[in-house]
Every structure is written in structure tokens, then in C-alpha cells.
Amino acid sequence: MQYPARKPVAAATGDGAPALEAWNDPPVETYAVLALCSSSHDLHVLSEVSRQAGWTLHSTGSYREAVNLLCFQRMPVILCDASFRDGSWMDIVSQVAPLMNPPRLIVTCAQGNDTLWSQVLNMGGFDVLLKPLNPDEVNRVISHAMADWQRERNQGAPQVLRARAAG
């Protein structure tokens, strides 16, 4: 998918990716998921669940591509691997946490542990899903994440995630 060139209104992040808050407020795609994962099985599961649920699925394999996409289209849910070729879930959190009504971040990993789950939640993530992805669990968690995002959008963004990002 090609996106028109837009000029940032502030500097890029230290890793060269544009800072999301540096861009004019892009339109929000209300029922969309951004998947940042490398597994073809995961993408297949996500495609099937998204198709059945009526969500739009955008997928990418890198942090830079994900941030560039988010500069042009805000989405309520981001699902990403714990780590990927040019970053980790923490890089995504650092970009989205300062935003008004940030997307809900769901991290996927092959072996879950309490430490990862605790870190994700403490840094503003929404949940952790274990691999291989189970379609019913994916549907349940993404549905809850979208509902939570929509509820916050309707009520106005709380300061909780921005406080976590600053602290």
C-alpha cells in the first residue's frame, strides 16, 4: 500500500523513524489491526480472524514500516512479536504511549512468562498472546482491545499511558 508523502512538523526519533506526534493527526481507521509479525502462520490466523470479524488487517515486518504506516493511518490495535528484525515491542510502546487514545498493543511470544506479561502491562501494553496463535483467543483479545480503545475514545483519553511513558 502506497501512502502520499507528508512532511513532518518535528524531528525524527533517534532510530531514524519519524516520531508519531511529529505528524499531523492522521485519520483513524476504527476497525483495523496493525500486525507486526514475521510468521506466515500468524499472518494466516490474523487474516482469517480479521476477515470473519470484519476488521481491516495491515501487516508489516519491521518497526520502521509500522511507524511510517501509523503516521498516515491510526489504528486501535497493534499486534506485534516480542521482537522483530529492527526492534521490539518496547519500541512500539515508546512511540504510541504518548498519543491521545493510543492503540492497544498486544504482544505475541512463543514462550510466555510472568516477567514479559508484567512488563507489557506496566509499560502500557494491553495483553500477551502465546504462539502458535489460537483463532478464538486472537478474536477474544483483539475484540476486547478494540472495545477498550473505543470506550476511551468516547470518554476522552486518560492520562495513565502518558504518565507511564514519561515515568
Model confidence pLDDT, tens digit, residues 101-113: 899 999 999 987 8
Average pLDDT over residues 39-66: 94
Q: What predicted TM-score, i.e. pTM, was given to this entire model?
A: 0.79
**Residue 9 banded pLDDT, cuts 50, 70, 90:** very low
Residue 2 lies in a domain: no
Cβ–Cβ under 8 Å, residues 109 and 128 = yes
Residue 12 lies in a domain: no
Residue 85 lies in a domain: yes
pLDDT at 144 over 70: yes
Residue 5 lies in a domain: no
Which secondary structure element, helix H or strand E, spans residue 107, and what is its range? strand 104-109
pLDDT at 134 over 70: yes
Average pLDDT over residues 88-109: 92
Residue 14 lies in a domain: no
104: β partners:
77
pLDDT at 100 over 60: yes
Q: Which of the pair, 149 or 28, is modelled with greater confidence?
A: 149
Of the ranges 20-29, 134-143, 145-154, which is most confident? 134-143
Cβ–Cβ under 8 Å, residues 31 and 55 = yes
Q: Which CATH number covers residue 32?
A: 3.40.50.2300
**Residue 16 banded pLDDT, cuts 50, 70, 90:** low
Domain of residue 75: give its range.
25-166
Query: Hey, what's the cell of 75?
Result: 489504528
pLDDT at 119 over 90: yes
Instruction: Tell me how far apart the alpha carbons of residues 148 and 131 are, in angstroms, rounded to a whole number.
Output: 23
| Count of domains forming the chain | 1
Residue 96 lies in a domain: yes
Cα angle 111, 113, 114 (rounded to 5 degrees) comes to 165
Residue 6 lies in a domain: no
Average pLDDT over residues 59-71: 91
Residue 15 lies in a domain: no
Cβ–Cβ under 8 Å, residues 127 and 141 = yes
